[in-house]
Amino acid sequence: MFRVENLLKRYGDLIAVDRISFEVRRGEIYGLLGPNGAGKTTTMSVLSGLLRPDDGSVHFDGIDLLAEPIRVKQCLGVVPQETALYETLTARENLRFWGGLYGLSGAALGAAVDRVLEQVGLTARAGDRVRTYSGGMKRRLNLALGIVHGPKAVLMDEPTVGIDPQGRANILDTVRAVAAAGTTVLYTTHYLEEAETLCDRIGIMDHGKILAEGTVADLKARAGQEEIVTIRGSFSAETARDRLGTIPGARLIHSAESNVVLGVQGSGQGAAQLLSDLFGSGLPVDAISIQPPSLNSLFLNLTGRELRD
Ligand code: ATP
């Protein structure tokens, strides 16, 4: 449905999106997973026609976004990170306003508003002013504004940021319902668990690049059998490299000031051997963590960093 090829976007000297390519298939929930600053919002802004890329192409259902932006935008819904609600209006009034901007009117507008209120679970509160809503309800309404016109695909940029776990679970259920009703979803998040439970396929993004892509099962298989050992302490990158880089069975993934990441083979035994060698090395260590193969360990392996760093 979306075909993104070789997409490049710069802000001055900074390369925010670094020649990425990916496809979003009809009916799927595709997740861009990455930390703050990875380039997710910039990618979404280009795909929604708000920003012009410096190079590359985006096709939606075969239509060239750069050549025919209005035709593509008519098929899309956008749920931005910031909520764009009129607090003194009710949910129904907000939705009627946005639905009207999208060209709906009369009975069609009323039916669309009722449908989307039901989808996001706000029917019972539809007549209340938005300023009386909880943060989670505002997020759900924000999502509803992006789909009120029944788009073929919707772009959702971190729709769960800043809400409590129950509010988040509600949003995720709503996203699933939207996808189940036939809308293709492109979803960004920096929460690994969200990507893992929600998305049919995931692109792992960092520093403007997609480092790995696939289903959760594909990505877990890519994580392989290695356990990831992260060591923190008072040492320089060089010292860590010298003392730990040559330990048999351990692969140095990343070394920086006070932080070194290694991959070790074998369930538990490799890590146990590494720990024993580590204590023998005399490196001043403050903390050690060992992670079994998982999406998180794959991310660490690819970037040398935790998603939450
Ligand atoms: P976040 O979740 O924090 O929004 P992100 O993955 O969406 O992160 P982007 O917002 O796309 O990342 O930012 C990618 C890079 O581009 C960052 O280094 C950011 O500081 C930079 N950037 C984003 N918008 C602008 C802008 N308008 N001008 C200059 N630099 C920008």
Q: CA angle 149-215-4, nearest 5°?
A: 55
Give the Cα separation of 9 and 45 in Å (integer).
10
DSSP-derived secondary structure letter, 89:
S
In this predicted structure, the answer to whether residue 308 has a pLDDT above a threshold of 70 is no
Residue 302: per-residue pLDDT: 87
Residue 190: per-residue pLDDT: 93
Residue 277: per-residue pLDDT: 81
* Residue 102: partners with Cβ closer than 8 Å, 6 or more residues away: 148, 149
Sequence letter at residue 201: R
With a 6 A CB cut-off, is 11 part of the ligand 1 pocket? Answer: yes
Residue nearest ligand 1's atom 21 by CA: 16
In this predicted structure, the answer to whether residue 307 has a pLDDT above a threshold of 80 is no
In total, the chain counts a number of residues equal to 309
User: pTM of this prediction?
Assistant: 0.86
- Which atom in ligand 1 lies closest to the alpha carbon of residue 205? 6
- Give 42 Cα–ligand 1 centroid separation in angstroms: 6
Residue 270: per-residue pLDDT: 72
- Give 16 Cα–ligand 1 centroid separation in angstroms: 6
In this predicted structure, the answer to whether residue 268 has a pLDDT above a threshold of 80 is no
Segment 116-152, tens digit of pLDDT? 999 898 999 999 999 999 988 999 999 999 999 999 9
Token duo for residue 160 = 């769960």
Residue nearest ligand 1's atom 16 by CA: 16
Sheet holding 153-157, edge to edge: 76-79, 153-157, 184-189, 29-33, 201-206, 209-214
* Residue 70: partners with Cβ closer than 8 Å, 6 or more residues away: none
Buried b vs exposed e over 29-46: b needs ≥16 C-beta within 10 Å?
Answer: bbbbbbbeebbbbbbbbb
Residue 278: per-residue pLDDT: 81
With a 6 A CB cut-off, is 37 part of the ligand 1 pocket? Answer: yes
Residue nearest ligand 1's atom 24 by CA: 42
User: Quick check: 117 and 148 in contact, CB under 8 A?
Assistant: no
Average pLDDT over residues 199-211: 96
Q: CA angle 136-169-291, nearest 5°?
A: 125
Residue nearest ligand 1's atom 30 by CA: 11
Average pLDDT over residues 97-114: 95
Give the Cα separation of 153 and 178 in Å (integer).
10
Q: Count Cβ atoms below 10 Å from residue 135 Cβ, excluding itself.
A: 12
- Which atom in ligand 1 lies closest to the alpha carbon of residue 190? 2
Segment 25-56, tens digit of pLDDT? 999 999 999 999 999 999 999 999 999 999 99
Ligand 1 probe mutation, 10, 11, 18, 205, most atoms within 8 A of CB: 11
Q: Residue 267 — very low, low, confident or very high, per pLDDT cuts 50/70/90?
A: low
Residue nearest ligand 1's atom 11 by CA: 39
* Residue 205: partners with Cβ closer than 8 Å, 6 or more residues away: 20, 32, 33, 34, 38, 39, 40, 43, 211
Distance of CA 289 to the CA centre of its chain: 25
Residue 108: per-residue pLDDT: 96
Residue 220: per-residue pLDDT: 86
Percent of the chain scored above 90 by pLDDT?
63
Residue 114: per-residue pLDDT: 97
Give the Cα separation of 115 and 125 in Å (integer).
14
Q: By three-state DSSP, how is residue 136 classified?
A: helix
Residue nearest ligand 1's atom 2 by CA: 36
Segment 146-196, tens digit of pLDDT? 999 999 999 999 999 888 888 899 899 999 999 998 999 999 999 999 999
With a 6 A CB cut-off, is 263 part of the ligand 1 pocket? Answer: no
